[in-house]
A = this chain, B = another copy of it.
Amino acid sequence: MQLTVLPLLADRMDEKFDVFEVFLKTLEKNETKLEDGDVIVISTKYISNSQGRIVDIENIQISKEGLDVSKKYQLKPEIAEVVIRESDKIFGGIAGFVITSSDNIMAPNAGIDKSNAKKGKVILYPDNPYLVAEQLRRKIFLKMLIHVGVILVDSRLMPARIGTSGVAIACAGIEPVLDMRSKKDLDGNPLKVTFQAVVDNLATIANHKMGEGAESKPFAIVRNSGATLTDRKISSFEMAIDPDQCVYVRGLSNPPKNQ
């Protein structure tokens, strides 16, 4: 079955707004109808904007810890301060770029973003992204009587690669990971790789078509994804590995001798 990805042009919104209402309008403007089983991918920036999650960094009080992080990683003190407030843990970093984790999402600079924000302001990650996704899914069901999956997407970098892919910051109504442990390969051997990152993979291709710039395509519909829809509540623990178990986080700090 052919998978399709359809990005949707939407209005630029400057004040807080209702994402569900704007999504309905956007479907109409794009002359598109949702179908049962569709997966709706939405930019976290758009969700953050809808929540007014924008900080005026010029008025921020800087703590001792903020100054330390600012110096060590050559970030503006105001940015370092916001990064600390928004993250549970800082793993490390390079100049201008700190690797943090918050609500089980590993992200550069706690996901805060200066692009697509007015001067002197930064956009933070959404509040309660799983709740946002779940509410949207329910409203769509009540209005249209169809089951859909919802994914909130941000861009991310990959180890040793140039350019951004996508990552699911939250989801609702869709099984986030496909467990293939019971499946066999072509020779009947157990598979080496046993899980498929379903929502991250759908997030990646949707994000790719949504673009990053002035196009304003904050929504995309992924059709015939093959993903399993569900009514159960999804938690952030289902997609995230504890960094202590992560092959990159642990493996990269465990080099062989003589290197």
Is the CB–CB distance between B157 and A200 below 8 Å? no
Q: In the complex, which of the residues B3, B209, B252 contacts A92, with contact meaning CB atoms closer than 8 Å?
A: B252
Q: In the complex, which of the residues B89, B160, B177 contacts A162, with contact meaning CB atoms closer than 8 Å?
A: B177
Contact of A197 with B by CB under 8 A: yes
Tell me the complex Cα distance, A155–B114, Å.
32
Contact of A139 with B by CB under 8 A: no
Give every chain B residue within 8 A of A23 (Cβ-Cβ).
none
Contact of A165 with B by CB under 8 A: yes
Interface range, A side: 35 or more
Binds B, one of A55-63, A125-133, A142-150, A240-248: A240-248
Is the CB–CB distance between B208 and A91 below 8 Å? no
Copies per complex of this chain: 2
Is the CB–CB distance between A213 and B180 below 8 Å? yes
Is the CB–CB distance between B94 and A251 below 8 Å? yes
Is the CB–CB distance between A167 and B177 below 8 Å? no
Give every chain B residue within 8 A of A200 (Cβ-Cβ).
158, 161, 163, 165
Is the CB–CB distance between A94 and B250 below 8 Å? yes
Q: In the complex, which of the residues B157, B160, B198 contacts A106, with contact meaning CB atoms closer than 8 Å?
A: B160
Is the CB–CB distance between B163 and A191 below 8 Å? no
Give every chain B residue within 8 A of A252 (Cβ-Cβ).
91-92, 99, 248-249, 252-253
Tell me the complex Cα distance, A108–B200, Å.
20
Give every chain B residue within 8 A of A246 (Cβ-Cβ).
159-160
Q: Given the interface contacts A255-B92, A256-B69, does A114 sit within 8 Å of B204 by beta carbon?
A: no
Contact of A24 with B by CB under 8 A: no
Is the CB–CB distance between B2 and A118 below 8 Å? no
Is the CB–CB distance between B99 and A197 below 8 Å? no
Contact of A52 with B by CB under 8 A: no
Is the CB–CB distance between B155 and A249 below 8 Å? no
